[in-house]
Amino acid sequence: MRDELLRVSGLTVSLAGRRIVDDVDLVVGSGETVGLVGESGSGKSLTARAVAGLLPPTLTAGGSVRFSGTELIGASERVLRKFRGRRVGLLMQDPFAMLNPLLTAGAHIAESLPRGTRRDRQEVVRRLAEVGITNPDVAYRYPFQLSGGMRQRVAIAAALAGDPELLIADEPTTALDATIQHEIMQLLARIQESRGMAVLLITHDLRVAFQLCDRVQVMYAGRVLESGASKALATGPGHPYTLGLISALPAVERTAVRLEGIPGSVPRAADVACQCAFADRCGQRQDDCLTERPPLRLLDSGRLTACRYDVAPAASVAAPPSVPSARKSSANGPLLLVEGLRKKYGQAVALDGVDLRIEPGERLGLVGESGSGKTTLARCLLGLVDPSGGSIQLGGMDTTRLRHLPAARQREIRPLVQCVFQDPSTSLNPAMTVGATLAEAAALAAEQDRRPVGEVLELVGLPSGYAKLRPHRLSGGEKQRVAIARALAVRPALLICDEPTASLDVSVQAHILELLRTVNSELGTALLFVTHDLAVVRQVTDRIVVLLHGKVIETGVTASVLDSPGHDYTRRLVASVPTFTGSDACTI
């Protein structure tokens, strides 16, 4: 190990006496890149904040955080301020919220520079160049005049302006588009190398961590479950949870026969203080997992795991011979036929002549980054906005200007196409119980098409008792199931899914994707799956359409497009998906 820079030992973070982060150890050597990986609620971000001494005032930290031998827990603001920026930098998740809207990009960098260089315009230009911004005029722009990727570059330049020895990057690319994510990660890796700076990378994405980090530490319910060299973890996880996470990752190179999520959801740290935190969701649980908290034990060279037992290799699934394939075009013609669809917002062209065809029961992926027009297309199909030109035919009916049809006609057509939105916490009415939401949705369909509440809940794998609950009692994955149930309540022929797993954890994502596949194969509902995630699209679609600047640039069978992309842009997209050479143990 290189010189030790940061040593965290026995770190706790509590909210009103209740532990959220419990006994976390962490070491970062100088020049080393360490990944802190976990799902939401794992405490990874709070650990990072505690290291920087920037916990929200309602939280208190205990234990010890030593930076080059100086204790930071309990240190005064005066001491902490000397460390922040100059020795420890922090980069946060959302480039849209991280910069002061009233200051220019240059001002952010200048105010963070060491004393004496703050008035030096050339220094700001140099710092911008370091993060790949060669146009010096960017220094005079305000954040709202910059794209997300540019803002994140400016933020990186500002975080690095004080030349810290350690940069804590808290999910620095989660809010960005896939290709931009890739660029920013490459940039961080390049800067890390050229500066010889240590990086603590907080991420929910195992693939990113394995690709960029020397060592990875897996957190769960506020504690560390496993840590070790990236390669060792990737090839032979030493904890059932790590194995579960790896198995749940969809791969862009292949379509999994079955997507394995991890059952259940993350418990609160305080509820599992005296047992193995993962025991309730673990497939190889023994009695003593519940009676005592397993300590971290040394597995092999430098690898620690909080599991008493050797991890059993993932059970090989008895594979059905082939993945359900697309249905052949039916005698009645396509379910959805879009021709030359155009949409303009003022001067901006969102859709520029899009053709699209979905057969009944088919699964079509619509891939593109923000601004590609994929959401506008979905909104046109749903009849939420009027196209500026072209036509939409749904089940043989012209629905181009659905909003302007007579109300009775709309009531007939609208149930045919339903939508599942990205964020279930905002797409469900918080004031209504699940049952009321589902019944309200079903009432919109014709009598014979209504699905009773109990039936749709069963369809999406939720117990019927959930009908009485309000959304705030449900986890993110459960809310999304309810949202899917709501869409299915009117027996739609086409289900539009707009990034339905983008705000979910990877272990939950697998469940939802599996559910959508089942809905398609058992109910015959056609899917239009809108996403920027190629690994996800590979799992749930037969054909894909790639959208760029409102135009279809490539279309074809999902597997062949992803394996041998024809368009430059598709190639870039495929290349930006982080991959790691997984082991045999995690074959899925």
Q: Which residues bind another protein (CB under 8 A)?
A: 52, 54, 57, 77, 81-86, 89-90, 92-94, 97-104, 111-112, 141-142, 144-147, 149-150, 155, 158-159, 161-162
Rank residues 172 and 383 by Cβ distance to another protein and give the closer one: 172
Rank residues 147 and 211 by Cβ distance to another protein and give the closer one: 147
Q: Is 503 helix (H, G, I), strand (E, B) or coil?
A: coil
Rank residues 188 and 419 by Cβ distance to another protein and give the closer one: 188
| Least separation in angstroms between CB 182 and another protein | 15
* b/e sequence 380-406, b meaning 16+ C-beta within 10 Å: bbbbebebeebebbbbeeebbebeebe
DSSP string, 45-65: HHHHHHHHT---TTEEEEEEE
Measured CA to CA, the distance from residue 323 to residue 259 in angstroms comes to: 12
Q: Among residues 203, 259, 279, 183, which one has the least CA distance to residue 35? A: 203
Angle, CA of 333, 334 and 338, to the nearest 5°: 130
DSSP single-letter state for residue 84: B
| Least separation in angstroms between CB 351 and another protein | 18
Rank residues 62 and 162 by Cβ distance to another protein and give the closer one: 162
| Least separation in angstroms between CB 208 and another protein | 21
| Least separation in angstroms between CB 84 and another protein | 4
Dihedrals phi, psi of 231, to nearest 5 degrees: -60, -45
Distinct helix (H) and strand (E) counts, the chain = 21, 22
| Least separation in angstroms between CB 185 and another protein | 17
| Least separation in angstroms between CB 55 and another protein | 10
Q: Among residues 8, 21, 10, 9, which one has the least CA distance to residue 59? A: 21
Strand pairing of 336-345 and 389-394?
antiparallel
Rank residues 173 and 509 by Cβ distance to another protein and give the closer one: 173
DSSP string, 101-140: TTS-HHHHHHHHSPTTSTT-HHHHHHHHHHTT---GGGGG
| Least separation in angstroms between CB 518 and another protein | 39
| Least separation in angstroms between CB 140 and another protein | 11
Measured CA to CA, the distance from residue 389 to residue 229 in angstroms comes to: 55
Question: Residue 368 contacts by C-beta under 8 Å, 6 or more apart in sequence?
Answer: 374, 532, 546, 547, 548
Rank residues 160 and 417 by Cβ distance to another protein and give the closer one: 160
Rank residues 52 and 420 by Cβ distance to another protein and give the closer one: 52
| Least separation in angstroms between CB 223 and another protein | 25
Q: Among residues 437, 487, 493, which one has the least CA distance to residue 467? A: 437
Rank residues 25 and 94 by Cβ distance to another protein and give the closer one: 94
Rank residues 65 and 474 by Cβ distance to another protein and give the closer one: 65
Q: Among residues 341, 350, 338, which one has the least CA distance to residue 550? A: 350
